[in-house]
Amino acid sequence: MPREFNPAVYILASKRNGTLYVGVTSNFTVRISAHKQDLIEGFTKRYGVHSLVYLEYLPTMETAIKREKQIKKWRRDWKLALIEKENPNWLDLFEERSGLIDPIRPTERRTTP
8-98, CATH topology level: GIY-YIG endonuclease (3.40.1440)
At 4, the pLDDT band (50, 70, 90 cuts) reads low
Alpha helices by DSSP H, listed for the chain, are 28-36, 43-47, 61-73, 76-86, 94-98
Check pLDDT > 60 for residue 1.
no
pLDDT at 111: 41
Percent of the chain having pLDDT more than 90? 76
Q: Over range 43-61, report the average pLDDT.
A: 95
- Collect all residues with Cβ–Cβ distance below 8 Å to 74 and sequence separation of at least 6: 82
Per-residue pLDDT of 67-90, as tens digits, reads: 999 999 999 999 999 999 999 999
